[in-house]
Structure 1
Amino acid sequence: MNTELPFAGLWAIILGGSSGFGFATAEKLASKGMNLAVLFREPSGPAKKATEALAEIAAENNVEILSYNLNVLDNSSRISFIDEFGIPDRLGKVKLLMHSVARGNLKPLVEPKGETGQHSLLTVEDIQMTSYAMGNSLLDWTRDILNAGLFHQDSRIIGLTSEGADKYWDAYAAVSIAKASLQSLTTYMAVEFAPYGLRTNLIQAGITNTAALQRIPGSDKLVEIAETRNPLQRMTVPGDVANVIYLLCTDEAAWINGALLHVDGGEHCR
């Protein structure tokens, strides 16, 4: 094995890779020789920019990167992608499935006292959509890729959660519910998919100033708190998470399964 390119010939499928954690992971894994299928849902302008940036990464690292602008939450889109991607040369080659989908409803449960008709309130339908998008869709993707015979004999399934799954953040209830569900799902997937060679883990990143974070009401306060709270005296950046995902893909990490890994420089300790 080329120790500089340990993943040559293998593939990662990244759900939500146009920016943030997904894009940083694509950069890191490409530098280690891994080919990538990067899926995202963006308007034409940002999609073009992401596709061009990924093409540059592919050329710089002499790897193959396939970009797909599609709705990863749509059953027919998922099936079509797997049919198109699953050519014989890629069977048994998918080393990583990364779930980095950031699509959810950010609404309060109830009107703040003294205010009337000024807020759109969270509905059960909002919760159901967010839970599937940011949590349970991982199960559909994992099962379909497994059934297509695409996973490597020693593969990784990695999801992302946040501190907002356990603590109150303004208007974050639907996402918090989704992430809590994803944490339980990770436990069960770690057990039931293990006989197929899949290790399933969840990363809780520190507060990171991504586009997804900026959509959360009061995110500027979260950023301010993170900058002073972190023991290493800086915020988490997407590259920190990408580095850990790379480590989890190595042979040495094969015994990590069903874990919730804090990738935050110790931020969660305070």
Structure 2
Amino acid sequence: MDKNLQFKDLWAVILGGSSGFGYAAVERLALHGMNIAVIYRENKSSDKALKESLAKIEAANTGKILPFNINALDADARASFINNFAAFAGKKSVKVLLHSIARGNLKPLTIKNNVEDGEYNTLSIEDIQLTTYAMSNSLLDWTRSLLKADLFNTDGRIIGLTSEGAHKYWDSYAAVSIAKASLESLAKYMAVEFSTYGLKTNVIQAGVTETASLKMIPGSEKLLEIGVKRNPLGRLTKPEDVAGVIYLLCTDESFWINGSIIHVDGGEHCL
């Protein structure tokens, strides 16, 4: 099979495709003929630059790439996307839904030294709820919306992204940690309950990766430094490492992988 046409007439819907793992997945899936709807939220100048980059990827490959600068967490925006997208994609054409939204609150749980400090904002319940919806529960809404519109392929794949921070302490990462732990649990239930539609749901746990999202975490420099020393293969994980596994999870050979947390970290999690 010509790998440039491997996914001809099939679509990927990528939530959070403007940078990091999502953008790397666009590049990789496009190489194999996948048509891609890229959903992201950027300002006017960033939007223009991203659309130019996506147009170059499209021109170099055989599939279509459709950019949608919308709020993926807004129900009306999601409904509007489904209506517009269905005209391009057609029924049962979505091979993969990738959830790569990185939107959350990075705050500590407690005030500094028990002294009120306006600059030391603490995590609120609302912060936790917003972060959990953005980085976990929104995957369920998008899955249901695509299913209701009969857009999922009968051998569709759903992929989420988690991190080691779901299982260990990282400074000011509590809200994201809660969201990632929630995503892992949600994916387990989705793997069972959505299997009736032929969907396979898996989560990728990437190693420490130098992305814009990671750099927002307090003490990220230390995470990067330790990540290199700790990794058995002596380097950080790259977005393209993860994109390669996202591609593999879309292939026929991955048909029987469902409900798994897949470590893509060069063995980092072993140490």
- TM-score with structure 2 length normalisation? 0.97
Q: Is the 8 A contact 1:96 1:156 kept in 2?
A: yes
Aligned AA for 2:77?
A: S
Match in the other structure for 1:43: 43
Match in the other structure for 2:205: 204
1:103 aligns with 2:118: no
Residues 38-97 of structure 1 show CA distances to partners (whole Å, capped at 9, x for unaligned) of 000111111111111011000000220000111000000000000110127521110000
Select between 12-21 and 106-115 the one with higher mean Cα deviation. Answer: 106-115
Match in the other structure for 1:174: 175
Q: Is the 8 A contact 2:5 2:62 kept in 1?
A: no
Match in the other structure for 1:25: 25
Gaps of 5+ in 2: none
TM superposition shift of 1:115: 5.1
How far apart, in 2, do the equivalents of 1:3 and 1:225 lie?
37
TM superposition shift of 1:209: 0.4
Aligned AA for 1:156?
A: R
- SS, match of residue 60 in structure 2: helix
Match in the other structure for 1:78: 78
Kindly report which structure 2 residues correspond to 1:18-167, keeping only aligned pairs within 5 A, or say none: 18-87=18-87, 90-113=90-113, 116-117=116-117, 118-167=119-168
Match in the other structure for 1:11: 11
Q: Is the 8 A contact 2:11 2:89 kept in 1?
A: no
How far apart, in 1, do the equivalents of 2:51 and 2:181 lie?
32
TM superposition shift of 1:2: 3.3
Residues 125-154 of structure 1 show CA distances to partners (whole Å, capped at 9, x for unaligned) of 000000000000000000010110101110
Residues 194-225 of structure 1 show CA distances to partners (whole Å, capped at 9, x for unaligned) of 01010000000001000000111110000000
Name the count of aligned residue pairs: 270
Match in the other structure for 2:218: 217
Residues 224-267 of structure 1 show CA distances to partners (whole Å, capped at 9, x for unaligned) of 00011000000000000000000000000000000000000000
- SS, match of residue 68 in structure 1: strand
- SS, match of residue 153 in structure 2: strand
Aligned AA for 1:223?
A: L
- SS, match of residue 209 in structure 1: coil
How far apart, in 2, do the equivalents of 1:115 and 1:249 lie?
51
Q: Is the 8 A contact 1:19 1:50 kept in 2?
A: no
How far apart, in 2, do the equivalents of 1:53 and 1:28 lie?
14
Q: Sequence identity, in percent?
A: 61
1:25–1:88 distance in 2 versus 1, CA, 3 Å: closer
How far apart, in 2, do the equivalents of 1:88 and 1:41 lie?
21
1:115–1:267 distance in 2 versus 1, CA, 3 Å: farther
TM superposition shift of 1:9: 1.2
Match in the other structure for 1:251: 252
1:113–1:249 distance in 2 versus 1, CA, 3 Å: same
Aligned AA for 2:58?
A: A
How far apart, in 2, do the equivalents of 1:208 and 1:49 lie?
23
Gaps of 5+ in 1: none
TM superposition shift of 1:6: 1.1
- SS, match of residue 12 in structure 2: strand
Kindly report which structure 2 residues correspond to 1:257-268, keeping only aligned pairs within 5 A, or say none: 257-268=258-269
TM superposition shift of 1:112: 3.1
